[in-house]
C-alpha cells in the first residue's frame, strides 16, 4: 500500500471537512425557522468541536465535550423548548427586525479578529505530538489550579440551587 497522504496532510483534510460542516451547521443554528432543527444543528456544531479537540490531541476534552454538551446541555435545551411551548412547526417569528444590523456587526468583528489573528499568529505552526495524557490534566487541575477548581465547584453548586429556586412552583 503506497502512502498517499502524510500525517500532517491527513490532519489538514480532516480539519477542513469538519470545519466546513461546523460552519454550515452554525449558520443553521442562527437562521433556521424551526427551533428543534436549530437545536439539532447545534448538536452537529458541538460534535464538530469534539472532533476538533481530538484532532488537537485533547482526547479528554473531546470526551467531556460529548458527555456534557451533547449529553446534558442539549437535553436541557430540548426541555426548555418543550416547556416554553415554542412552536415546533416552521415559523418566521424567531428573528427580530435588526437582522441586517446584527449581520454587519458580526462581519465587522470577524474582520477585525481575522486580521489580528493573521497579523499575530500567521507564521505559527502546530507541532502535534503525542495525545495529552489525562493524568497531566488532572495534575494541573489539582496542583496549579486547585483554587480555581474549588471556586468553579462552589459556583456550580450555587447555580444549581439557584436554578431550582427560580424554576420551582410555590
Partner 1 sequence: MPVTEYLLLSAFLFCTGIYGVLARRNGVLVLMSVELMLNAVNINLVAFSARLNDVAGQVFALFVIAIAAAEVGVGLAIVLLIYRNRVGVNLDEIDLMKG
Task: Report 74-133 residues binding partner 1 (CB under 8 A).
Answer: 76-77, 79-81, 83-86, 93-96, 98-99, 101-103, 105-107, 109-110, 113-114, 117-118, 121-122, 124-126, 128, 132
What lies within 8 Å, CB to CB, of 91 at 6+ separation is: 33, 34
Residue closer to partner 1 by CB (options 76, 90) is 76
Residue closer to partner 1 by CB (options 90, 118) is 118
Of 68, 88, 90, 150, which one interacts with partner 1 (CB under 8 A)? 68
Of 15, 21, 37, 63, which one interacts with partner 1 (CB under 8 A)? 15
Asked whether position 146 contacts partner 1 by CB under 8 A, the answer is: no
Q: Is 168 left (phi over 0), alpha (psi -120 to 50) or beta?
A: beta
Spatial separation of the C-alpha atoms in residues 112 and 93, rounded to whole Å: 31
Ramachandran angles phi, psi of 138, nearest 5° = -60, -45
Whether 49 contacts 4, CB under 8 Å: no
Amino acid at each position: 500500500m503506497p502512502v498517499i497522504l502524510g500525517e500532517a496532510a491527513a490532519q489538514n483534510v480532516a480539519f477542513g471537512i469538519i470545519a466546513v460542516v461546523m460552519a454550515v451547521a452554525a449558520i443553521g443554528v442562527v437562521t433556521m425557522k424551526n427551533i428543534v432543527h436549530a437545536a439539532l444543528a447545534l448538536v452537529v456544531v458541538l460534535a464538530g468541536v469534539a472532533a476538533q479537540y481530538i484532532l488537537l490531541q485533547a482526547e479528554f476534552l473531546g470526551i467531556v465535550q460529548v458527555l456534557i454538551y451533547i449529553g446534558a446541555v442539549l437535553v436541557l435545551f430540548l426541555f426548555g423548548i418543550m416547556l416554553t411551548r415554542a412552536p415546533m412547526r416552521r415559523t418566521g417569528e424567531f428573528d427580530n427586525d435588526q437582522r441586517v444590523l446584527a449581520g454587519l456587526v458580526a462581519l465587522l468583528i470577524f474582520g477585525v479578529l481575522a486580521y489580528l489573528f493573521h497579523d499575530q499568529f500567521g507564521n505559527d505552526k502546530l507541532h502535534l505530538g503525542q495525545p495529552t495524557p489525562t493524568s497531566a490534566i488532572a495534575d494541573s487541575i489539582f496542583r496549579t489550579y486547585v483554587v480555581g477548581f474549588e471556586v468553579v465547584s462552589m459556583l456550580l453548586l450555587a447555580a444549581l440551587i439557584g436554578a431550582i429556586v427560580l424554576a420551582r412552583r410555590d
